[in-house]
Chain A
Amino acid sequence: MKTQVAIWAGKIIGVLSRALGHGGSTIPGIVARKLDAKFLRHSRSIAKTIFYITGTNGKTTTANLISHLLQTAGQSVMTNREGSNMVTGLSACLVQSAPLIGWKKYDVAVLEVDEASLPNAIAECPSDYLLITNFFRDQLDRYGEIDLLIKKMKDSLKYFAGNFIINADDPFSNRFSNLKKDNIYVGLNAHAYPFDSYLMTESRYCPNCQNELSYSSVHYGHLGHYHCTCGFKRPETTFAAEKVFNDKKGIRLVIDDEEYPTTFKGLYNAYNVLFAIQACQALDVKPDVLRKGLMTYQNSKGRMQEFLVNGKVWRLNLVKNPAGGNVTLSEYFEGDETKLLMFCLNDNLADGEDISWIWDIDMELANRDELELFIASGTRAHDAALRMKYTGFPEKKIIILPDMNEAVLYAKRFESPTYIMATYTCLSPMISILSKEAEKENKGDSNLETSTIPLLSRYTQSVWRQGKYYLLKKAMRMEGDFSTSRRNQKPK
């Protein structure tokens, strides 16, 4: 009865909070948990099989892909929305998925779980499968918190009876190996990638003995085939991609001699695809169904999303940590076509208030001749610009436009396409700006000629308002309207 009341209360609050204009994605969960403390345990009542997906990068994509593949196979799936991956968010998802009376049965629950929330989620409701995608060091780790995080996660999994699906190529994920026998290990075979792995800036040290790890093959970041003198080494994979090809439509994986073409752009997505296929195969989904699902999957918004602007394909990708930044850049600079790069950097709570992580991105990768212009945008545009300056990229090709609308309007004046990296809270405004641009494109009312004048007036206005018209001068200098000899002057 307590549970039923908790669900009703949660549902009512959810409706109210939405009516009041709050997103309220976790509020129903908070309410339900007030009335029924270990509310998550009811996940068992709603789904026959439960997957938890945790790790630094790839949670959302992997969870979405598994859901889609299982649905293609005709199974009913419950899943949580991105950002609702803490205990309250998971509880909210459960409240919303439950009918008013009793429990509806789903075949599968596919839930992404925040690393720090995993111990609580496991304590309330252990999953059947736990997918550990990877751990990347971020600014937190400067304080040694990744060690602590992994220790807490492992402590909570001491009596875990489900199955681990572990990324064999990640030394951090491998630390979960000694909890159980017969783990499932996914990974990429040596040299499965056709492209050069770029230099990594982060350290890769043995979690066992702190000595530097040796690699016989590096995939990206610290992911690869590693071993240490102390005996710590990459485990044998039970499920591996032999090759990953970069086709026009997307990446294609070869696994156990089966070909799996996908719609994913970006080689780093190989791991997400590999995890998803393995998870579905654990539920006996056949290769033909998987292939169909992979080709019909629509990537989530802001994940290597493409927009047609000025007849050119612009690209947008979410970047929330250095590892994500690195793979995005390597993807953007794979071809040597001329391009603009835009970095939209906000420092709201959801982005992380400490923006020093941008210094760990290999921005040097972008310091190339084919880059016509670097546009820094967002609340911390100046920090993004400064980071780019330190790659050695010419200062006069760096523009600071904190307003994202202005940044896009400015970029539109160039013939070359713009590739955009955006932090979390920049993403949805950017998607709506670009969708509008793409819409104009369809209606055919946008061309370079007419957009120039309104652009400049808009730009001038807000720049004047900020009392920072040196930004405008800088912009005009780019157009050749302003003498470069006065570059270093900053009028007050």
Chain B
Amino acid sequence: MIGGGSDREQAIVTNKLQPLVKEIKDWIEDGVSSLTICGGYQFLGEYYKKKNGEKLKGMGILPLYSEAGKNRLMTNLLISTKQFGNVVGFENHGGRTYHNLPPLGLVVNGYGNNGENGEEGLHYHHLIGTYLHGPILPKNPRIADYLIEKAYERKTGRTLEPLNDTFENEANEVVWERFLHKKRTKYKNES
């Protein structure tokens, strides 16, 4: 799991992890469960272009890149996904991320990857990259279960019994209902 940090902190991590890039790539291709959020998601990619045009090098693990935008994209983010149902959380990011990989879901409220194409995050093998925090796992237990399940299966070849997620699902539903009807601007590709 990789979270976010300031530009300075991210640069330190990128340098430290550089020798491991090949290994991490192999893990991901082999189906290791991974969750990368915000800065951690951006730094999977090739670069992050700052406002002044300077490019911060990413880890180059996946074909994606990010660019600093004018404003921070900051709001409650609701996305709908095929695999995990309605996913809720909060986004707060200055960068816009672009890629052609499968997204985690489609934006119902908020901005998502770049505020333009209506997509949020990425889902590649068992890796999830996303701008959602809030935090993401407790309120979206299906994602948490998925990551644990895949890791457990990979390790042992056995499956897991589900837990009681009543509280988690209630919290998810409440956030969904609360922000579903908020006004939002339409995306470029929407009519």
Out of B6, B138, B164, which one reaches A386, CB within 8 Å?
Answer: B138
Say whether A383 contacts B178, CB under 8 Å: no
Chain B nearest CB from A169 CB (Å) reads: 24
A145, closest chain B residue (CB): B6
Q: Place the interface of chain A in its size category.
A: 20 to 34
Q: Bound state CA distance, A386 and B137, in angstroms?
A: 11
Out of B76, B90, B167, B178, which one reaches A385, CB within 8 Å?
Answer: B167
Interface string of A36-51 (1 = CB under 8 A from B): 0000000000000000
Out of A139, A142, A353, A386, which one reaches B168, CB within 8 Å?
Answer: A386
B76-109 CB contacts (< 8 Å) to partner A: 76, 90, 92-94
- The reply on A389 being an interface residue by CB < 8 A is yes
Q: Bound state CA distance, A398 and B93, in angstroms?
A: 34
Given contacts A144-B6, A353-B90, contact A379 B167 (CB under 8 A): no
**Neighbouring A residues of B8 by C-beta, 8 Å:** 144, 147
**Neighbouring B residues of A356 by C-beta, 8 Å:** 90, 133-135
- The reply on B153 being an interface residue by CB < 8 A is no
Q: Bound state CA distance, A142 and B135, in angstroms?
A: 13
Q: Place the interface of chain B in its size category.
A: 20 to 34
- The reply on A303 being an interface residue by CB < 8 A is no
**Neighbouring B residues of A212 by C-beta, 8 Å:** none
Say whether A383 contacts B167, CB under 8 Å: no
Q: Bound state CA distance, A135 and B31, in angstroms?
A: 42
Chain A nearest CB from B85 CB (Å) reads: 15
Say whether B167 contacts A359, CB under 8 Å: no
Say whether A488 contacts B174, CB under 8 Å: no
Q: Bound state CA distance, A275 and B9, in angstroms?
A: 33
Between A147, A210, A382, the greatest number of chain B beta carbons within 10 A of the residue's beta carbon is seen for: A382
Out of A353, A359, A382, A387, which one reaches B75, CB within 8 Å?
Answer: A353
Say whether B92 contacts A147, CB under 8 Å: no
Interface string of A369-383 (1 = CB under 8 A from B): 000000000011011
B39, closest chain A residue (CB): A143
Could you list 25 A-B pairs, sorted by A, with CB under 8 Å?
A: A142-B4, A143-B39, A143-B93, A143-B94, A144-B5, A144-B8, A147-B6, A147-B8, A354-B90, A355-B90, A356-B90, A356-B134, A356-B135, A359-B138, A379-B178, A382-B171, A382-B174, A383-B139, A383-B171, A385-B167, A385-B170, A386-B168, A387-B138, A390-B138, A395-B164
